Amino acid sequence: MLVVARIEGNTRVLEVTDSKSLFESLTKCMQKQDDEAYLRQYNATLQQALLAEIRSRKVRTSLKLVQKKDSHLGSANAKKLVISGAKKPFPDTLQIRIAYKWTTSGAKLSKMTQELAYRAIRRLQLSARRHIASCSPDRISPSSTLVQDRVLEVFNIDITEGKIWRSIRSKHISGMASQFLWKVMHDIYMIGHRWLQESMLEEYHDRAICVVCGNVESIDHILFRCEAVGQAEVWGELRKVWENMGVPWKDPDWGTALGTGCVVIKTDKGIRRRPIKALWTILWSETVHLIWKLHCERVIRKNGEEFTFQEVKNAWHATIERRLTLDRRTAVLAKGKTDLKQGDVECIWAPIVENYRDLPKGWVGNSRVLVDIKSGQG
Ligand SMILES: [Zn+2]
């Protein structure tokens, strides 16, 4: 309708719509909405622009309301446009401009109510949040491209997108962690800017912002930047254990953590260190998944109350020890060629097992042998 209304001012125009609310907002409700500065209208800017175009025309603009059931040709075409628009990965940018002469300066004081004033405040808050979201460096589009870029930068390996998706199914990544990585890369978690979508009720908009840091709660924020007790402490525990092995540490990001199945670790002579690579994939996938679980627990079950440092530290050690126990049990049942055997598990986990050299032979398959993970201090 906006495009039609922009037709040369001397041409008579007949606008046809099957939307009763739009029709009424341009006719009998127009004055009331104008007086209330469109505070009740969801698509206020669009409506104001349309009205401004119609008002600026020099000749008559007619409106006709048609019934949906009449199968008007225009309705059918509009529906096709809606469907094709909904399939677009990114919305089109609409050029909305309202000539100053036709702008509404604000609501009339005589028409203002407490409810309208509250709506005005909420609209300002939402606008501010959207601005933060659009400017925030944390609003990184989660995709395999980010993983590709970071793996190339950190490990100097040029990987294909296919390799990333295959790496998620690595035998060193548990089923739950694999599902988590898959969902992150498909950007399907209901977090951050998704709570600010037009279709979302206003009462949910606060969920877009981290209550601890005040930043938009993107996956990047949750996993690598949030100041709540959690991510930094968990990565810190991994770092202590990792550096204790004498293998260079890399800061956690999309490549090192979410591309954990793609990393390649070599000796100074360029020989691939496969057991260390496997350990990296195990530890980093379990750690990044734990951070996500801790975040969910804090926000949903604990209603925002923070964990203590000790709780987070214990959670990390419990997670890694549980994973080692699982690998040991699975190795005992190994039958297939690609299954990890007891020797493989020993080779992978040895660098971080406490007092490894004192363990009895065959400890991997012997469930009576209790094994601890090094704490990282020595
Ligand atoms: Zn935060």
- Whether residue 77 is contained in a domain is answered as yes
Q: Distance between the two ends of the chain, CA-based, in angstroms? A: 71
Q: Are residues 145 and 90 in the same domain?
A: no
Q: Are residues 250 and 292 in the same domain?
A: yes
d(CA 218, CA 35): 38
The residue from 112, 127, 155 where one domain ends is 112
Distance (Å) from CA 224 to ligand 1 centroid: 10
Give CA angle at 52 (86, 113), nearest 5°. Answer: 90
What pLDDT does residue 139 have?
Answer: 45
Q: Are residues 143 and 238 in the same domain?
A: yes
Own/partner long-range contacts of 192-195 (Cβ < 8 Å, ≥24 apart): 192/133, 192/138, 192/139, 192/216, 192/217, 192/218, 192/219, 192/221, 193/133, 193/139, 193/218
Q: Are residues 227 and 100 in the same domain?
A: no
Distance (Å) from CA 218 to ligand 1 centroid: 9
Distance (Å) from CA 295 to ligand 1 centroid: 9
Q: pLDDT tens string for the chain (378 positions)?
A: 767 667 766 777 787 777 777 788 888 888 888 888 887 776 777 777 878 878 877 778 888 888 766 666 776 676 667 555 555 556 666 667 777 677 766 778 888 887 777 677 766 665 665 555 555 544 444 468 888 888 888 888 888 888 999 999 999 999 999 999 999 988 889 898 888 877 888 888 888 888 888 888 999 999 999 999 999 999 999 999 999 988 889 999 999 999 999 988 888 888 889 999 999 999 999 999 999 999 999 999 998 899 999 999 999 999 999 999 999 999 999 888 888 999 999 999 999 999 899 999 999 999 889 998 888 654
Distance (Å) from CA 230 to ligand 1 centroid: 10
Distance (Å) from CA 368 to ligand 1 centroid: 42
Q: Are residues 78 and 156 in the same domain?
A: no
What pLDDT does residue 341 have?
Answer: 93
- Whether residue 134 is contained in a domain is answered as no
CA separation, residue 275 to residues 46, 174, 303, 324, 338 (Å): 59, 17, 40, 14, 15
Distance (Å) from CA 216 to ligand 1 centroid: 8
User: How many residues are present in the chain?
Assistant: 378
Distance (Å) from CA 210 to ligand 1 centroid: 5
Distance (Å) from CA 228 to ligand 1 centroid: 6
Joined tokens for residue 378 = 């020595």
- Whether residue 369 is contained in a domain is answered as no
Distance (Å) from CA 231 to ligand 1 centroid: 10
- Whether residue 364 is contained in a domain is answered as no
Distance (Å) from CA 119 to ligand 1 centroid: 27
Distance (Å) from CA 222 to ligand 1 centroid: 6
Regarding pTM above 0.75, the answer is no
Distance (Å) from CA 55 to ligand 1 centroid: 47
What pLDDT does residue 142 have?
Answer: 46
Own/partner long-range contacts of 277-280 (Cβ < 8 Å, ≥24 apart): 278/172, 278/348, 279/348, 279/349, 279/351, 279/352
Distance (Å) from CA 234 to ligand 1 centroid: 15
Q: Are residues 166 and 103 in the same domain?
A: no
- Whether residue 74 is contained in a domain is answered as yes
One-letter amino acid for residue 353 of the chain = V
What pLDDT does residue 214 have?
Answer: 84
Spell out the alpha helix ranges (H) of 111-261. Answer: 114-135, 144-155, 161-168, 175-185, 219-220, 231-244
The residue from 112, 129, 159 where one domain ends is 112
Distance (Å) from CA 288 to ligand 1 centroid: 16
Q: Are residues 93 and 178 in the same domain?
A: no
Q: Are residues 170 and 314 in the same domain?
A: yes
271, HSE (Cβ side, Cα atoms, 13 Å)? 3
What pLDDT does residue 116 have?
Answer: 78
Q: Are residues 98 and 30 in the same domain?
A: yes
Domain count, the chain: 2
d(CA 33, CA 46): 13
Exposed, middle or buried: residue 365 (CB in 10 Å: 0-12, 13-18, 19+)? Answer: middle
Positive or negative CA dihedral for 351, 357, 363, 368? Answer: negative
Q: Are residues 153 and 218 in the same domain?
A: yes
Distance (Å) from CA 8 to ligand 1 centroid: 52
Q: Provide the domain limits for residue 71.
A: 2-112
Of 136, 253, 85, the C-alpha closest to 184 is 253
Distance (Å) from CA 300 to ligand 1 centroid: 14
Distance (Å) from CA 315 to ligand 1 centroid: 19
Distance (Å) from CA 202 to ligand 1 centroid: 21
Of 71, 72, 33, the C-alpha closest to 51 is 33
Of 262, 283, 278, the C-alpha closest to 341 is 278
Q: Are residues 205 and 81 in the same domain?
A: no
What pLDDT does residue 320 have?
Answer: 96
169, HSE (Cβ side, Cα atoms, 13 Å)? 4
What pLDDT does residue 302 have?
Answer: 92
- Whether residue 375 is contained in a domain is answered as no
Q: Are residues 39 and 174 in the same domain?
A: no
Distance (Å) from CA 225 to ligand 1 centroid: 7
